[in-house]
A and B are shown apart, each in its own frame.
Chain A
Amino acid sequence: MATPTADQTNVIEVDVRTDEMLVNMGPQHPSTHGVLRLVLRADGEIVREVTAHIGYLHRCAEKIGENLAPYQYIPYTDRMDYLAAMNMNLGYALAVEKLCQMKIPERAQIIRVIMAELGRIASHLVGMGAYGLDLGTFSPFLYAFREREKILDLFEETCGARLTCSYVTIGGVTHDFPPGWVERCKQFLDYFEPKIEEYHTLLTRNAIFIRRTAGLGVLPPDMAIAYGCTGPVLRGSGVRHDLRKVQPYCGYETYDFEIACPPFDDAPDEAVIGDAWHRFYVRMVEIKESVKILRQALARYEQNPEGSHRSPEWKPTMKLPAGEAYLETECPRGQMGFLVVGMDAPIPWRVRARSSSFCNLSVVSELCKGCLIADVPAIVGSLDIVMGEIDR
């Protein structure tokens, strides 16, 4: 082929030397959801390789767990996924209860389900709002926070805290609901349910939003499983797997709800199963399913279920029997697992936290290969990570 000359207008670049460039993103970057550092090897605008550097928020949570009795460790689990503290508390409490083979009263189980689902809604609302921010739209964030505030108010009434609740604890929950709480929660649900449609008009069916997310960062189901992805990231790839159905805890098997999983009838034509749009939409459908579970759980609570809000078996000086117990729960961001090793002492020998965001983030280098630099925040945002949980 003849060498092109400068007067050939159809050739844009004549003998321009291009080099790959390292672009550093984070750890302080508004769209990395905390202190995540990504090093991009970019060829022009195209990302060739992404290396994630984590650990900026490491607080030795596992080491602390070896020095505290389980009920003292609950506040530390709040600070793992600080957007879904209730679900974190529940995961650790269930793992300890599995080790001690403690029986939980019916009443406490129902309260736990209510709290876990409210936590899921609150967390998905932040996920939705923050994803809008990543893609450059500000208003959905404000709408999401308006509703989330009401959930946090409900949390505050039960335990006095809004974010770091420590409400679900070993043996049950710390307090029963205050008078009138169930009524207020129902009022919230009646107020909240029609709002979901508003989010769809604001974000889900927004033409710009679809252009930015559909077909982007496609995660095939076998890769999602191989990388240990769970939660909406796994379900967004079309794998029908939800621990609340597969391996129920807290009596989830008695509630009527669906697993949010594609294919969706109302997906836009451009969207492919496993892309950023589907991961986002799974969360939106899950909000709806959570409302369904909440209505059933509140109705059960009103029938005054048996037992108290906390198991009488629980004592602060309770010894953990020798043995190991590993238990995963379906948290908003995926399956959070706790391994508790007991040694006939009130303090566990070892606490291990398997973080869902940790595994979900590890797939980012595969997802970002060959995408544009501007799409990196859209892909990372669709994984909905929380750094507190990754670094523990």
Chain B
Amino acid sequence: MSPQEIAQLLKDQFGDRITGEALDVLDPWIAVAPEALHEVMEFLRNDERLAMDFLHCVSGVDYFEPDPKKAKRAKFEPHMEVLYHLSSMKHGHRIVIKVFLPRWKNDRPGELPEVPSVADIWPTANWHEREVYDLMGIRFVGHPDLRRILCPEDWVGHPLRKDYEFPDEYHGIRAR
């Protein structure tokens, strides 16, 4: 199936919960409302025509320019994205599903944005979501075991956020 057909199928099925698309870019993507993500992903995985059985990667991207001078010229509003690269072993087609999130839940700094977990659909998402939580600070609701995976358990902050401040020290070890 071409990305256009996949997008049309999803729009027919989910209507306005599909919030955007870009099909003429390098990796065509379809944006999904965060609250509908689990349902859409289940459909993508289980529908015979799509059969997206392979989740390649879950990645978070932070769109935020910490430098106020540059921020004025930035071509984006501050937000976060979670990207799911999917493909089908059976049909050989691929698509990227995107979720747009605010940088902080309810715009209260410190409260992590939330997105439904897909670890029950693809077990590989379990570790990937833990990594995104650890490094990017996105909470996956419904994840069976949302702990830090790469950083130590008592680490403070989420290092891949653009406004992350490196700690001066960690347990007496100089960190910068």
Cβ 8 A contact of B149, one of A55, A99, A325, A350 = A55
Residues of B within 8 A of A60 (CB): 159
Are A326 and B27 in contact, with the CB atoms below 8 A?
yes
Are B25 and A225 in contact, with the CB atoms below 8 A?
no
Segment of B8-16, B32-40, B49-57, B108-116 in the binding face? B49-57
Are A226 and B122 in contact, with the CB atoms below 8 A?
yes
The verdict on A354 contacting chain B, using a C-beta distance below 8 Å, is yes
Are B26 and A324 in contact, with the CB atoms below 8 A?
yes
Contact (A225, B54) CB under 8 Å given A58-B150, A325-B27, A326-B96: yes
The verdict on B61 contacting chain A, using a C-beta distance below 8 Å, is yes
CA distance A341 to B59 in the complex (A): 11
The verdict on B83 contacting chain A, using a C-beta distance below 8 Å, is yes
The verdict on B101 contacting chain A, using a C-beta distance below 8 Å, is no
Query: Which residue of B53, B54, B151 has the most chain A CB atoms within 10 A of its CB atom?
Result: B54
CA distance A87 to B160 in the complex (A): 25
CB distance from A356 to the nearest CB of B (A): 10
Q: Identify the closest chain A residue to B124 (Cβ).
A: A228
Q: Which residues 94-131 in B have Cβ within 8 Å of A in the complex?
A: 96, 122-124, 126-127
Contact (A350, B61) CB under 8 Å given A55-B149, A325-B27: yes
Residues of A within 8 A of B61 (CB): 341, 349-350, 352
Cβ 8 A contact of A63, one of B55, B56, B160 = B160
Q: Identify the closest chain B residue to A363 (Cβ).
A: B123
Are B152 and A55 in contact, with the CB atoms below 8 A?
yes
Are A239 and B89 in contact, with the CB atoms below 8 A?
yes
Q: Identify the closest chain A residue to B29 (Cβ).
A: A324
The verdict on B143 contacting chain A, using a C-beta distance below 8 Å, is no
The verdict on A369 contacting chain B, using a C-beta distance below 8 Å, is no
Are B26 and A226 in contact, with the CB atoms below 8 A?
no
CB distance from A343 to the nearest CB of B (A): 8
CA distance A192 to B32 in the complex (A): 53
Cβ 8 A contact of B25, one of A54, A324, A328, A344 = A324
Are A324 and B57 in contact, with the CB atoms below 8 A?
no
Q: Identify the closest chain B residue to A341 (Cβ).
A: B61
Are B26 and A246 in contact, with the CB atoms below 8 A?
no
Residues of A within 8 A of B160 (CB): 62-63, 350
CB distance from B170 to the nearest CB of A (A): 13
The verdict on B85 contacting chain A, using a C-beta distance below 8 Å, is yes
Are A335 and B56 in contact, with the CB atoms below 8 A?
yes
Cβ proximity bits B143-162 to A, threshold 8 Å, 1 near / 0 not: 00000111110000001100
Q: Which residues 328-345 in A have Cβ within 8 Å of B in the complex?
A: 328, 335, 337, 339, 341, 343-344
CA distance A358 to B53 in the complex (A): 18
CA distance A226 to B53 in the complex (A): 7
Residues of B within 8 A of A363 (CB): 123
Are B85 and A337 in contact, with the CB atoms below 8 A?
yes
Cβ 8 A contact of B26, one of A99, A239, A391 = A99
The verdict on B135 contacting chain A, using a C-beta distance below 8 Å, is yes
CB distance from A204 to the nearest CB of B (A): 28
The verdict on A150 contacting chain B, using a C-beta distance below 8 Å, is no
CB distance from A81 to the nearest CB of B (A): 16
Contact (A391, B123) CB under 8 Å given A225-B54, A337-B85, A339-B57: no
Residues of A within 8 A of B85 (CB): 326, 337, 339, 354
CB distance from B156 to the nearest CB of A (A): 15
Residues of B within 8 A of A325 (CB): 26-27
Apart from A328-B56, A354-B57, what 10 extra A-B contacts exist at CB < 8 Å? A55-B149, A63-B160, A225-B54, A227-B124, A228-B55, A326-B27, A337-B56, A349-B63, A352-B59, A359-B127
Nearest 3 interchain pairs by C-beta: A228-B124, A354-B57, A55-B150
Could you list 30 examples of A-B contacts with CB < 8 Å?
Answer: A54-B150, A55-B149, A58-B151, A62-B135, A62-B160, A63-B159, A63-B160, A99-B26, A223-B123, A226-B53, A227-B124, A228-B54, A228-B56, A228-B122, A246-B92, A322-B75, A323-B25, A323-B26, A326-B56, A326-B83, A335-B56, A339-B83, A350-B61, A350-B62, A352-B61, A354-B57, A359-B124, A362-B123, A362-B127, A391-B150
> Which of B's residues lie within 8 Å of A, judged by CB?
25-27, 29, 53-57, 59, 61-63, 75, 83, 85, 89, 92, 96, 122-124, 126-127, 135, 148-152, 159-160
